[in-house]
A and B are shown apart, each in its own frame.
Chain A
Amino acid sequence: MSALTPLLTASELFPRGVLPYLLGGLLVGLGAAVIYLATGIIAGASTFLESTLSYVSDVPRFNRFKYVRSRGWRLVFTAGIVSGAAVWGLVLAPDPGIWTTDVQWWRLLGGGFLVGVGTRLGKGCTSGHGVCGTGSLSNTSLVNVATFLTVAIGTAQLVQALGVSP
């Protein structure tokens, strides 16, 4: 009985198992590691937003040297992310094909807006701070991750409690 309890608990906490998560995480880290080892660049996904805005906006903030200089490779990095996901989702997955979300459009748009504001103000996102920052034990990143994780859990629980689904 006492030996079974942890197993039952584990399957409740991980209804889809842990393997795809662990494998996916290791590959996400590997992608960042390949770029870092070859170029010395710490890859974050959210600076793409600002650097790409420099193509279409005159606002000086988006046209600072570091954004204009990096906007080319950031487009290539993002194209890589899109196509890498496509290779899995459309070709190699057990059930290949287009998948679409049921999360309502206003949640995506409003949430996306806040993600855009917050990652830029907070200097990074789940890849810059969450993967690369925590990997290098940066205090700034650890504080940022602890903050966004806590607030996101609170927000998601609140939205669920209000009966919004999906």
Chain B
Amino acid sequence: MTGNDRSPLFLPVIYLGGLIFGFGLAISGMARPEVVLDFLQFDDLGLLFVMGGAAVVTGITFTVATRYLGDAPLTGREYTRRLKDFDRNVVIGGAIFGVGWGLSGICPGAAYASFGVGNYPILYAVAGMFLGAYAQGYWRARQSNDADAADATSG
């Protein structure tokens, strides 16, 4: 997908999808860290309905699309599941994310939505997420360089 074979509607539809997504996050309260923390402290289990409701809709959509539809109209992409590989990092990363989520009550999509409801202190969390993503990328780039160097000397 180079951009040439994308429909002119590609970006407007991405924007529309993001708009509905963010609207939903705001209605659900997930844009408020307090609501998420209430859930994690078992004071209000409503968030189960956010995750559950969303997963039911995507589940039905994915199932119908992969079984009965051909290619996506705006990109020509095939509807596939494109599953991510499982490795140790899925668990380690999930655990680190869990500590961060439990500490702050904020995850990426909800943080962007939180900024949308005018919650400017959330920029601390957004800045933290960029710093964390940068640190992770920088560290793993160095790590793979070290591994390459080790391979070169041993091989």
Contacts and interface: CB of A to CB of B under 8 A. Distances in A.
Interface of A: 13-18, 20-43, 45-46, 48-50, 52-53, 57, 59-62, 69, 72-73, 76-90, 93, 97-103, 105, 107-127, 129-141, 143-160, 166
Contacts of B82: 42
Interface in B88-109: 89-109
A51 B37 CA distance: 29
Interface residues of B, number: 117
B137 A62 contact: yes
A153 B109 contact: no
Contacts of B85: 140
B21 A108 contact: no
Given A59-B138, A121-B92, A148 B101 contact: yes
6 contacts: A81-B18, A86-B117, A101-B121, A108-B122, A117-B132, A144-B90
A144 to B, nearest CB: 4
A99 B46 contact: no
Contacts of A125: 97, 107-109
A112 to B, nearest CB: 2
Contacts of B114: 85, 101
Contacts of B120: 100
